[in-house]
Amino acid sequence: MTLIRLTVAQALRRAVARATLAPSVHNSQPWRFALRGNVLELHADRVRQLHVLDPVGRQLAISCGCALFNARVALAAAGYGCRVERLPDPADSSLLARITAIEDGRGPDADEIAVLDAVVELRHTNRRRFAEEPVPDELIDRLALLAAAEHAQLTEITEEGQRIATAVLSQRADALENADSAYRAELRAWTTDQPDRLDGVPALAVPRGGQLSYDDIPLRDFDTSGHGALPAATHSGVDQCLLLLWTAADSPLNWLQAGEALQRVLLELTRQGYVAGIMSQVAEVPTVRAMLAAELRLPGSPHLLLRVGRAPATPATRRRRLVEVLVEHL
């Protein structure tokens, strides 16, 4: 593996650029960065929080955790180690992490995460129909180990009864959310067919509406304007590889770490030639989330479902410019 040779300032700016390519709920990109010398701060952008879908900020923190992991990957690829302080200031809940770049402090897993830098730009949430082929057990086991390394758990749902229960609860959560006019208004605000918009979910990356409700496990219907560019039939079902991301506890720190684990898993899947669809509705409705934990006998808190497989690529969603998310203090 060839390391990218950069000064510390260049490496940290590049880390921000790579961080902004992370997935986020509704592509809201709810993050801000501040750069001071060899220290990079990751802040939550509360203006971009989805207050109907995500009133406590759990999905926001998971999104920012994904961005944090991308920054770690970028620094490792540039030959730097890093020290990460998560939630370092109890008086400032918006400061999610402080990352210090270290020139001679690469950790034992630096090479392992550095190789993921090559696929950061290739990772996209995929809402297409997946091929009917199994995901190797060896890969699923590896993904679980990678999630555990980031202090989260990734469990394949294999028992038939649990898969059916997961589907039923996903349908219930999706129906409850769509019955809420405020939720639908928020969804419309974050979907777009404007080609120059730099955030939100674009029509070119979502299936046409109308048939999503027939899926066993419904994908969120982002086609609010009727311009979805992908085929409507996604066949998201209980016969696919379903992985549940969860943590032992349910605190802001757990949410941030869940995001780091999620992004590590997504990048490894991309590196191995697989794609993933993120389905979080079942964990967004508190009552349904509790029922899911009970059905699956989880000793912890579920955060989202992944369906994993192979599918044609989907278009990338756009990202805000660096000048909009980064403040540099001289």
Give buried/exposed letters for 163-201 (b at 16+ CB in 10 A, else e). bebbbbbbbbbbeebbeeeebeebbeebbbbeeeeebbb
| Across 91-102, average pLDDT | 97
Model confidence, pTM: 0.95
DSSP state string for 41-70: EEEE-GGG--TTT-TTSHHHHHHHHHHHHH
pLDDT above 90: residue 109: no
Mean pLDDT of the chain: 92
Average pLDDT over residues 39-44: 98
Residue 316 tokens read as 């990338």
Sorted by where each starts, the structural domains of the chain and their CATH numbers stand as 8-121 (3.40.109.10), 137-309 (3.40.109.10)
If you average pLDDT over residues 128-144, what whole number do you get?
A: 94
Give the model confidence (pLDDT) of 151-193 as tens digits. Answer: 999 999 999 999 999 999 999 999 999 999 999 999 999 988 7
Contacts of 301 (CB under 8 A, 6+ apart): 246, 247, 248, 249, 250, 254, 289, 293
Res 212 pLDDT > 60: no
